[in-house]
Structure 1
Amino acid sequence: MKFLINFVSIDTTESNALILFSSAISRIQHEIVNTDSPEYSACESIRDIEVTFETSRNYQSSNDYLERPHSKLKVLTVEALPREQ
């Protein structure tokens, strides 16, 4: 099954007080993932898709190491796409 993921990238170097009033948050980005791929094959829910997507982008090397320490990806929505006929 395919899912449309809508997400943003947040500049983590920006002050928390100013983060909503600056260019620290990127425009909404989109990506389609497929549960047929090995990375998502064990996902049983939309929540699993969200967690897998964020983890694979933010913590590629280790659960204790942020891949890009100056920005972090955050999923906004996950939508199931209709099956192709």
Structure 2
Amino acid sequence: MKFLIAFVNFDVSVSASLLGDSSTVSSIRHEIVDTTDHLYAECESIRDIEVLFEKAQNYPIDNDVVHNPAFKAKVLTVQPLPSSL
């Protein structure tokens, strides 16, 4: 099954007082993920997909280090797509 993910990137390399300021948040981005992809194959819920997407974007190498602090992803929505897509 395919899902459309809407997410934003935050620049978390700035001070906490600037987080959420328009200069630290990207426009809404979209990506399609497929549960036939080995990364998402064992997902049982939309929550699982959200968690794995953020982990893959933010912590692909080390669970304790944000891969790219200037582009930390935060999922806004996960929507199932019709099987015809």
TM-score (norm 1): 0.89
Which is worse superposed, 15-24 or 64-73? 15-24
Task: Compute the RMSD of aligned alpha carbons.
Answer: 1.6
Most deviating of 43-52 and 17-26 = 17-26
CA distance in 2, matches of 1:18, 1:37: 36
If the length of structure 2 is used for normalisation, what is the TM-score?
A: 0.89
Aligned to 1:54: 54
1:26-75 CA distance string (max 9 Å, x none): 00000000001101000000000000000011001111121113331110
Unaligned runs of 5+ in 2: none
Cα distance in structure 1, aligned partners of 2:11 and 2:42:
30
Matched, 1:39 2:36: no
Q: Which residue of 2 aligns with 1:21?
A: 21
Is residue 29 of structure 2 the alignment partner of residue 7 of structure 1?
no
2:21 is equivalent to residue 30 of structure 1: no
- Please list every run of 5 or more consecutive structure 1 residues that lacks an aligned counterpart in the other structure: none
> Which aligned runs of 4 or more in structure 1 are off by greater than 4 angstroms?
none
The structure whose residues are more often helix, as a share, is 2
Identity of aligned pairs, percent?
52
Q: Secondary structure at the residue paired with 1:75?
A: strand
User: SS of the counterpart of 1:49?
Assistant: helix
